[in-house]
């Protein structure tokens, strides 16, 4: 009788725990504000212009958190993770307290910083050497799951609860999702050295494309539900956000397949073009079906573009591409709501026109990346 060796099987438990953490930090902690924004406006808690400023504060916090972890990777530790989880939950709960816009902006700034810390920790566990090759896809799908969950939450409790109670329920949901992630084996990172870029032209075009994606996608992600709610009512608006989340769940897997078949740069150009269409539809029509299609296209592309941009950056450089890409993406996210703030008070379609133009420019820049890579 001979013994047979079997290939080592990697447990997917850490990947699912990381997915729960990403659902908490990104799907709920960052993006629950999207379905709650129109409710807070209807309740005269904030104006649409205030909403844009508060959103920008959250994105600024995310940028600060990402940059801090780039410069001080030793902060990516279990203790800092748990502190961030606690502060994220508290920041959501305190949003239920009526206060000036500056206080709400400060709370969302804290939520942005802490969600960045949790994102880096959970994504790092899933991407660690020795993990199952399905781990990263499972973990990132948690973002879409969390987005869908926030839409369902608002649909379920809106008839019974006001905006204050919804923030408290969101805080409880965040806490529940974070419980599995508290057991993750989080290890401090190391500061990456200076990257050696193979094609400076392609690298610069990628940075431009990814910055513009940050500007354009965040306008859709922040105001799509509010625009649909304004035209079709809050129930339809919340349902649209569920559609975004459901479409986002398999997105990274599908775009990964597309990248293997076509090349990552070609896939990214296609994804940006589809997202551009998702901005055009609510700009030209207030009907339900264009909004549904826009939600599907948006949900199916924004996480895929993140994955593809980082993959392209890795191919173009011998060092760490994630840090500068995260920085320009975060800067774009912070700028997006501020760019459309002057027009959002009078017209959501005008904001989506701006987003569509920005995303069209991003698509052209991504096409240039493809062309320059082929020349190299």
At 297 the pLDDT is 97
pLDDT digits over 13-26, tens only? 888 999 999 999 99
267 plus 126 within the same structural domain: no
Q: Tell me the two tokens of residue 30.
A: 């960052």
198 plus 183 within the same structural domain: no
Among 41-55, 86-100, 115-129, 224-238, name the most confident range: 86-100
State the pLDDT confidence band at 214, using cuts at 50, 70 and 90.
Answer: very high
Q: Kindly report the average pLDDT of the chain as a whole number.
A: 87
pLDDT over 50 at 7, yes or no: no
Q: How many domains does the chain have?
A: 2
162 plus 280 within the same structural domain: no
CA dihedral 128, 129, 131, 132 (to 10 degrees): 120
pLDDT over 50 at 4, yes or no: no
pLDDT over 90 at 240, yes or no: yes
Lowest mean pLDDT among 3-7, 162-166, 362-366: 3-7
25 plus 164 within the same structural domain: yes
Residue 284: Cβ within 10 Å count: 12
pLDDT over 50 at 8, yes or no: no
Residue 5 lies inside a defined structural domain of this protein: no
206 plus 175 within the same structural domain: no
319 plus 211 within the same structural domain: yes
Residue 363 lies inside a defined structural domain of this protein: yes
45 plus 173 within the same structural domain: yes
pLDDT over 70 at 161, yes or no: yes
Residue 1 lies inside a defined structural domain of this protein: no
What is the C-alpha separation between 150 and 108, in angstroms, rounded?
Answer: 17
Residue 288 lies inside a defined structural domain of this protein: yes
Residue 293 lies inside a defined structural domain of this protein: yes
The predicted model gives 144-159 an average pLDDT of 89
Tokens 């438990």, residue? Answer: 13
**141 or 3, which is more confident?**
141
208 plus 294 within the same structural domain: yes
At 277 the pLDDT is 97
Boundary residue ending a domain (191, 206, 240): 191
Tokens 């354009």, residue? Answer: 216
26 plus 117 within the same structural domain: yes
Residue 3 lies inside a defined structural domain of this protein: no
pLDDT digits over 298-344, tens only? 999 999 898 888 888 878 875 566 667 877 888 898 899 889 988 88
Percent of the chain with pLDDT over 90: 49
pLDDT over 70 at 6, yes or no: no
Q: Helix-strand-coil percent breakdown of the chain, rounded to 5?
A: 80, 0, 20
**281 or 2, which is more confident?**
281
What is the C-alpha separation between 277 and 359, in angstroms, rounded?
Answer: 9
The predicted model gives 181-198 an average pLDDT of 70
Boundary residue ending a domain (173, 191, 209): 191
What is the DSSP track for 266-317? HHHHHHHHHHHHHHHHHHH--SHHHHHHHHHHHHHHHHHHHHHHHHHHHHHB
Residue 120 lies inside a defined structural domain of this protein: yes
354 plus 208 within the same structural domain: yes
At 193 the pLDDT is 53
Whether 203 contacts 86, CB under 8 Å: no
Domain that holds residue 157: 12-191
25 plus 50 within the same structural domain: yes
Q: Tell me the two tokens of residue 189.
A: 């990172």
Residue 6 lies inside a defined structural domain of this protein: no
Boundary residue ending a domain (191, 207, 224): 191
Q: What is the CATH number of the domain that holds 343?
A: 1.20.1250.20
182 plus 295 within the same structural domain: no
pLDDT digits over 100-129, tens only? 999 999 999 999 999 988 988 887 776 664
pLDDT digits over 258-309, tens only? 988 999 999 999 999 999 999 999 999 989 999 999 999 999 999 989 888 8
């Amino acid at each position: 009788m001979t013994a047979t060796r079997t290939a080592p099987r990697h447990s997917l438990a850490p990947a699912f725990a990381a997915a729960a953490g990403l659902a908490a930090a990104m799907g709920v902690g960052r993006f629950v504000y999207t379905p709650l924004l129109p409710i807070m406006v209807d309740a005269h808690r904030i104006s649409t212009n205030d909403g844009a400023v508060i959103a920008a504060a959250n994105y600024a916090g995310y940028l600060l958190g990402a940059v801090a972890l780039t410069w001080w990777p030793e902060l990516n530790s279990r203790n800092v993770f748990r502190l961030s989880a606690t502060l994220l939950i508290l920041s959501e709960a305190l949003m239920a307290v009526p206060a000036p816009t500056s206080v709400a902006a400060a709370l969302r700034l804290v939520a942005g910083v802490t969600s960045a810390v949790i994102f880096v920790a959970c994504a790092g566990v899933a991407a660690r050497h020795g993990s199952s090759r399905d781990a990263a896809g499972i973990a990132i799908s948690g973002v879409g799951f969390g987005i869908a969950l926030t839409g369902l939450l608002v649909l379920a409790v809106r008839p019974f609860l006001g905006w204050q109670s919804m923030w408290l329920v969101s805080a409880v949901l965040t806490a529940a999702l974070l419980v599995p992630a508290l057991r993750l084996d989080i290890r401090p990172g190391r500061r990456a050295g200076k990257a050696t870029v193979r094609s400076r032209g392609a690298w610069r075009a990628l940075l431009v494309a990814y910055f513009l994606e940050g500007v354009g996608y965040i306008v859709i992600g922040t105001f799509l539900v509010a625009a649909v709610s304004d035209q079709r009512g809050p129930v339809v608006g919340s349902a649209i956000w569920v559609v975004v989340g459901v479409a986002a769940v398999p997105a990274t897997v599908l775009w990964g397949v597309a990248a293997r078949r076509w090349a990552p740069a070609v896939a990214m150009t296609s994804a940006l073009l589809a997202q551009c269409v998702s901005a055009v539809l609510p700009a030209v029509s207030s009907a339900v079906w264009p909004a549904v299609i826009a939600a599907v296209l948006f949900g199916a592309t924004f996480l895929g573009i993140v994955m593809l941009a980082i993959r392209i950056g890795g191919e173009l450089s011998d060092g760490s591409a994630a840090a500068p890409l995260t920085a320009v993406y975060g800067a774009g996210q912070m700028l997006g709501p501020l760019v459309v703030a002057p027009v959002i008070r009078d017209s959501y379609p005008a904001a989506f026109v701006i987003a569509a133009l920005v995303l069209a420019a991003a698509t052209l820049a991504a096409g240039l990346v493809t062309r320059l890579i082929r020349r190299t």
